[in-house]
Amino acid sequence: MSTITSLWDSLAWPLVKLLGSLSVSLLVANLIETLNWTRLLARFAAPLVRAGHMQDVVGASFSMAFFSGMAANTMLAEAHAQGRLTDRELVLANLFNSLPTYFLHLPTMLLVAAPFLGPAAALYVGLTLGAALLRTLCIVLAGRAVLSAPEPSCLECNLPDHGPTWREALAKSWKRFKKRIAKICLITAPVYAGMVWLTSLGFFEAVERLMAQHLGGLSWFSPKAASIVVFGMMAEFTAGLAAAGALLTGGELPVKEVVLALLLGNLLSTPMRAFRHQFPYYAGIFRPALALKLIVHNQSLRAVSLVVVGAVYLALG
């Protein structure tokens, strides 16, 4: 009985919730696409989209990502599958969504960090926000450099006078949903199960321990600051915050060193966790190879942006 309970808690129930969220996201994305709301949503991101030579569906996905990153990615996957986005456009669009995705988690991050760090929480969160804004600026500049400008009316055109009725839109969306959800489940379920299996074997913990043990190159960090990094990597973000809060409250470390330690822990720990949590549903929405490519691009750009803001803060702080 205990084995069945363990399998339900660690695999079955999380997978049910994941596939449920995927299903809702896919259906919502299909419905929005069918009702032709993409242009309406794109207007919120119109200036950035236009500056980055991106298409209206990219702006719609950007706007949707403020509410649901999964629905935003599903919208991009649909456009890519239909040939409306090239591989290059898809990569840039997915990276472009990092800013709204950041804002999606910002309240939780701030509310969790504030009790531990006090005023230093605003500084830490501000630096991560600066990194997110830097990523967006880089993507807009990259899009302007490598993409051809779309038709001038792409983001300006009005919605059709007579769109489909809700009944027609639901029927069409349901038809497209049934076609894709089976494929998504067939890919996502075994990938998720594989991740759970690797976790049960201690694979991810071993990798994180290996990384934590090789912080010798950070000689400019005090051992106390390094402990914040290690706690953040070997446990979770909250553990790093707890260690940082204890050191701040006791006056053991200055704010600057604590903030830099949290940034470093964030930089080193997130890629592995992102792969563990994102790859199962990314592989269900996109092709597995493409899913891995998107995650690698996202984490690489994220790491570079954190290094840049951290270096600026180290130099000027």
User: What is the chain's pLDDT, residue by residue, as a tens digit (317 residues)?
Assistant: 567 777 777 778 877 876 787 677 677 767 766 665 655 556 667 888 889 999 888 888 888 888 778 888 988 998 898 888 999 999 999 999 998 888 877 877 787 788 778 888 899 999 999 999 999 999 999 999 998 877 665 444 433 445 567 777 777 778 877 777 777 677 667 766 776 777 678 775 675 566 566 655 555 566 667 767 776 666 566 667 777 777 776 677 788 888 888 888 888 877 777 777 788 878 888 888 999 999 999 999 999 999 999 999 988 86
In single-letter form, the type of residue at position 5 comes to T
- Hunting for tokens 């600066």 — which residue is that? 130
**In-domain check, residue 205:** yes
Query: How deeply is 276 buried, as exposed, middle or buried, from its count of CB atoms within 10 A (0-12, 13-18, 19+)?
Result: middle
**In-domain check, residue 162:** no
Predicted confidence at residue 130, as pLDDT, reads: 95
* HSE toward the beta carbon, residue 201, CA cutoff 13 A: 9
Distances (CA, A) of 31 to 25, 174, 187: 10, 8, 23
Q: Residue 216: which domain range?
A: 2-149+167-316
Say how many domains are in the chain.
1
- Residue 6: helix, strand or coil by DSSP? helix
Q: Is the pTM here over 0.85, yes or no?
A: no
d(CA 96, CA 143): 10
- Hunting for tokens 């890919």 — which residue is that? 187
With beta carbons less than 8 A apart as the criterion, state whether 228 and 265 touch. yes
**In-domain check, residue 159:** no
In single-letter form, the type of residue at position 24 comes to V
**242: its two tokens:** 């707890």
Predicted confidence at residue 216, as pLDDT, reads: 52
Sign of dihedral through CA atoms 220, 223, 228, 232? positive
**In-domain check, residue 225:** yes
d(CA 28, CA 9): 28
- Residue 297: helix, strand or coil by DSSP? helix
What are phi and psi for residue 53, nearest 5 degrees? 55, 40
**In-domain check, residue 287:** yes
Query: How deeply is 294 buried, as exposed, middle or buried, from its count of CB atoms within 10 A (0-12, 13-18, 19+)?
Result: buried
**In-domain check, residue 157:** no
Distances (CA, A) of 41 to 38, 50, 100, 104, 307: 5, 14, 13, 17, 33
Predicted confidence at residue 36, as pLDDT, reads: 59
Distances (CA, A) of 223 to 50, 105, 113, 258, 269: 48, 30, 22, 12, 18
**In-domain check, residue 31:** yes
What are phi and psi for residue 58, nearest 5 degrees? -70, -40
Furthest CA-CA distance within the chain = 66
**In-domain check, residue 158:** no
